[in-house]
Amino acid sequence: MIVRIAAVQYLLRQIHDWSGFENQVRFIMKAAGDYKPQFVLLPEIFTTQLLSFMDTTDVRDAVRNMNDYTKRYKDLMQELAAQWNVHLIGGSHPTLTEDGRLLNTAYYFTPTGEIHEQDKIHRTRWEREKWNTDAGDQLRLFDTPFGKIAILICYDIEFPELARMVCEAGADILFVPSCTDDRQGFLRVRYCCHARAIENQVFVVMTSTVGNLAVEGLGLHYGQACIITPSDFAFARDGIAAEGTANIEQIVVADVDLADLESNRLSGTTIPLYDKRKDVYEHPVEIIKVK
């Protein structure tokens, strides 16, 4: 099955009200939708663009006040997923739960109106110390008409165990919405996307925020969208089906063939998804004292 994917490098530009955000999102969704993809990916916490017109004197309060826009955000994304007939991974959005926890939640909108969620499981130091967020604790695999997908938000892709869990459950595509301030942060996520694609013989789609806002923690972004493949003969030579130009507003589009994954997992040059020695992993590490 051929699946077309669009990954959006979303530019965080100054806006003055909700309409500014909505207009920008509608524009980029039209630009992506015109290519008729099955999936569209937006970056992690791209909705922090709303902070550009909110009171950010206390950044912890400001991030929590973003929850006031959660319904508008979900309604807009649900409408656009239906309008363009796409499976929309709508980046992520800071969301307050009924019991007062603040989660970094990725929302997945289907063309038929369904809304699914995947919370970020590992928090960065900034999220813990500056925003005082809470961690999610449940991984989900979504069985779609275009393959099985999972969402690992930014830092979560740096933990191989999470990707292995969803891939052993059958994932074909990992979506990685990301937000990083500097190049080394971006590269940590990017290199881990390549590693997870190789380790699990899976497609990995990553995208990032670009631009800057006059808000604490949002003054710098380094980002580049990419659609990554396993590294073998059936795929792109460098394991990159497509990538954008760093740090500009752009949409990256590529077709991937799920049949290539199936054959690669059975007869690839290496088959790391199946070659894992689970018996060895059950043994504790033997520590030997050397004089």
- In a 13 Å sphere around the CA of 189, the CA atoms on its Cβ side amount to 30
The residues, ordered by sequence, that sit 6+ positions from 181 with a Cβ below 8 Å of its Cβ are 217, 219, 220, 221, 222
Write down the residue that tokens 């965080």 correspond to. Answer: 12
154 is catalytic: yes
Which one-letter DSSP state was computed for residue 283?
S
- In a 13 Å sphere around the CA of 265, the CA atoms on its Cβ side amount to 19
Quick one: which of 78, 102, 98 has its CA closest to 88? 78
CA distances for 206 relative to 52, 183, 244, 265, 286, angstroms? 25, 15, 11, 22, 37
The active-site residue, picked from 22, 30, 36, 44, is: 44
The residues, ordered by sequence, that sit 6+ positions from 73 with a Cβ below 8 Å of its Cβ are 47, 90, 93, 107
Dist. CA 206–CA 221, nearest whole Å: 15
Backbone φ and ψ for 268, nearest 5 degrees, come out as: -70, 170
The string over 146-177, giving b where at least 16 C-beta atoms fall within 10 Å of a residue's C-beta and e elsewhere, is bbbbbbbbbbbbbeeebbbebbeeebbbbbbb
CA distances for 73 relative to 93, 214, 291, angstroms? 9, 22, 62
The active-site residue, picked from 71, 79, 98, 120, is: 120
Which one-letter DSSP state was computed for residue 21?
H
Q: Dihedral through CA 20, CA 23, CA 27, CA 28, nearest 10? A: 60
The active-site residue, picked from 114, 148, 154, 262, is: 154
168 is catalytic: no
278 is catalytic: no
> Does residue 107 come out as left (phi exceeding 0), alpha (psi in the -120 to 50 range) or beta?
beta
Active site residues: 44, 120, 154
